Amino acid sequence: MTTHGGKERARALAAAILAVTLLAAPARAAFDDLGAGARAPGMGNAFTAIADDVYAIYYNPAGLALLDRPTFAASHTQHLAGLSDGSGLNTSFLGYAHPLKWDRGTVAAGVQNFSLDGSFYNEQAYYLSYAREVPVSLELYDLFWGINIKNLRRSFGSLPEASNAMNGLTATGLADPVLSGKRSVNVFDADLGLLYKIGKGYTAGLELMHLATPNVAFSPADTDKLPLRTKLALGYSSMLSNIAAQYETAASPTGTRDHRLTMAAERWFPWLLVGNIGARAALSVGNRDFRQASAGLSYRTGRIGVDYGFILPINSIASTYGTHRLSFSIRFGPVQEEEESAKLVLAAMRALKSGKAPELAASPASPSYAGALRARLDRARFLEAEGRYPEAALEISAALELSPKDEPLLRHHSRLNLVSAQLGRLEAHKTDSVQSALYRSALAFLTGSDEEAVAQAAAALALRPASRQISDYLAQLELTTGLQARKSDLPPDIAVKVQNLLTMASEALEDSRYDEAALMSEAVLKYQPENLTALENLGISYFAQGEYQKSLDAWKKTYRLETGKARQTMIKSQIASVENVARQQKRKTDATAAGAAPRPAGPAGPSAPAQAQKLYREGLDLYSSGELLKAQVIFQKVLEADPGNIPAANAIKRIQRELR
């Protein structure tokens, strides 16, 4: 006779399998694509084009080739918490990846277990993975491949219903043909992944899951093949963020095809003393009314990482608290974080360039106001960086209401009010040379570099000597700082060239076109060897291109010339950071040289011919002098000599935009 508990468990099994089917509507219940870990699920599993951690075992094995340190990871997931039948749906994952010496690829192993109420129903997947870059001999540079060999096992426990089958809610007294038969099945399977670094931060990823389309039916007489699942994704990575779009498709149980599209974003917030905080979110849509929202948080240091993910089906399952995921990872071996550190240092350099001074990080009079105060200060920083000074002044005023006795904040408020009253909004500072000079002046004044502030204001007045507004602003600066503007030793036409070059360099920096920013800043230094703005540009540009010694030289010269104490402190910090990254890079280079002959490097791309470089500088000189049509002709000649010259192509686009 069937027990009441057995009936409940049988119904639980049916409900659980139905729930998992609904959880990922475009998929099947057996070995469904439930994800792994917590970080990637927080991005809606749109990880195929990112795949930069040990969970690449699951999402795209090609990404394992990018790992530089051995890594272990463990995670646990509770699916669809709060189901009315009390079912416990859980997934656990263990994984380890080990990069081999001398760029011979990465090997990895992992195991994932999905269970319903412990041993009631289980699915295990065992992974053995290998990944590396495509051989240089094929001339397919920045292309990585990876493969998983898997053993899949599904099973269920011994049930009373095996000898007393249910017909609906009625016990038949007969053996159940499924539950009394084979209770486990083992099959082999494989996955293939590709990852291609397109350039400029873009990557493309492809994963083919279940290449063998194995039959996971319990009975040899039945057929229950896992469908081939194809995932195609495009990702973009900046210094501290990731954006991904992923499309996936597979045959559905109904005989048609299922489709899913996911958009995801991730942002990291570096706290250099305590680690990094990450946040992410995603939205997934598909046919058969599939809708799903995902989000997650992370904490990471150079050695450990903790991730949390939350997934909520929007219109498929009601009365659930969603899926909750928690993962932990640890990296072993010597710390080799030059790439990550370089990103953080570059972010700090750009923050310094945009004027995010530490004196704005005020402490509230009461801790209860901390969140509101921080929001006001962050908004003020953003508005100042955009040249919207009146609005920034309002935000600082509101911050002072929360922290009225904060002396650094009061000083900043006073200076910002002067800039706001005299300059208003500088909305064209990225393209207009006069506004660009005023913007640099305001930035220097707000961060305590009074001498540079006066010099840039004088440069703006030299470009537009009849401007009463600029004249009044310069007079106010001289009165406030006690400094007098020195007469420029540059002829008027050269002064115009310098400001035009600085404007173009600032635009190139903002667009991360560091090679162009460096060329333009070098041109400025030929006219003004002690131009602080150009030196800072070079410090950032050289660093971004991995030329650490040149970056260090530029920052050291900037430090010697800088007169503002606050900015001297920040620049000194940048110098220490560059020295640290340079040492890390040297250790890695020495280790490679000591180990074995490194593999031949792929060509960095054809360098521009000497004639093209000469023409480019000539075009740059004409452009900075205002002779746009002549400059356009020269840049066109550059492209004829060197069709792949991106700076020349960008210069032509800029000229065409200005001539409209």
Q: What is the pLDDT of residues 58-110, one digit of tens each?
A: 999 999 999 989 999 999 999 888 776 667 889 999 999 999 987 789 999 99
Mean pLDDT to the nearest integer, 494-523:
81
DSSP bridge pairs for 206:
194, 232
At 605 the three-state DSSP class reads coil
CB 473 within 8 A of CB 603: no
Mean pLDDT to the nearest integer, 453-469:
86
Percentage of residues in the chain with pLDDT exceeding 70? 79
Sequence-separated (6 or more) residues with CB below 8 Å from residue 402? 364, 365, 369, 372, 373, 376
Tokens representing 583 are 């040492």
Mean pLDDT of the chain: 80
Q: Which residue blocks in 95-218 are alpha helix, DSSP H?
A: none
User: What is the structure's pLDDT at 243?
Assistant: 96
Which has the closest alpha carbon to 87: 161, 16, 145, 2?
A: 16
Mean pLDDT to the nearest integer, 318-328:
87
Q: Which residue blocks in 24-128 are alpha helix, DSSP H?
A: 56-59
User: What is the structure's pLDDT at 64?
Assistant: 96
For residue 542, give the amino acid letter. Y
At 356 the three-state DSSP class reads coil
Q: Note the Cα 621 to chain centre separation in Å.
A: 36
User: What is the structure's pLDDT at 594?
Assistant: 58
The pLDDT-based confidence of 374 (bands split at 50, 70, 90) is confident
CB 457 within 8 A of CB 519: no
Which of 100-114, 377-391, 470-484 shows the highest mean pLDDT?
Answer: 100-114
The pLDDT-based confidence of 175 (bands split at 50, 70, 90) is low
Q: Note the Cα 16 to chain centre separation in Å.
A: 36
pLDDT for 290 beyond 60:
yes
DSSP, res 467? -
User: What is the structure's pLDDT at 7?
Assistant: 42
pLDDT top residue among 162 and 326: 326
At 172 the three-state DSSP class reads coil
pLDDT for 460 beyond 90:
no
Mean pLDDT to the nearest integer, 279-297:
94
Residue ranges per structural domain of the chain: 4-335, 343-592, 610-659
The CB density around residue 627, as the number of other CB atoms within 10 Å, is: 14
Thinking of the domain 4-335, which architecture would CATH place it in?
Beta Barrel (2.40)
| 448-452, 528-532, 600-604: least confidently modelled range | 600-604
pLDDT for 428 beyond 80:
yes
Which has the closest alpha carbon to 124: 163, 96, 90, 100?
A: 90
Tokens representing 515 are 């090679």
Mean pLDDT to the nearest integer, 350-370:
50
Classify burial at 482, counting beta carbons within 10 Å of its beta carbon; exposed 0-12, middle 13-18, buried 19 or more: exposed
pLDDT top residue among 646 and 256: 256
Residue-wise pLDDT for 113-172, tens only, equals: 998 876 778 999 999 999 999 986 777 778 999 999 999 999 877 666 655 666 666 666
User: What is the structure's pLDDT at 278?
Assistant: 92
The pLDDT-based confidence of 333 (bands split at 50, 70, 90) is confident
Which of 295-299, 349-353, 356-360, 564-568 shows the highest mean pLDDT?
Answer: 295-299
Q: What superfamily in CATH does domain 343-592 come from?
A: Tetratricopeptide repeat domain (1.25.40.10)
Residue-wise pLDDT for 581-631, tens only, equals: 787 777 766 665 655 444 444 444 444 456 777 777 777 777 766 677 777
**Longest C-alpha distance within the chain, in Å?**
105
Sequence-separated (6 or more) residues with CB below 8 Å from residue 511? none
Mean pLDDT to the nearest integer, 181-189:
85
User: What is the structure's pLDDT at 110?
Assistant: 97
Which of 191-205, 444-458, 615-629 shows the highest mean pLDDT?
Answer: 191-205
DSSP result, 98-112: EEPGGG--EEEEEEE
User: What is the structure's pLDDT at 137?
Assistant: 72
At 249 the three-state DSSP class reads strand
User: What is the structure's pLDDT at 163?
Assistant: 58
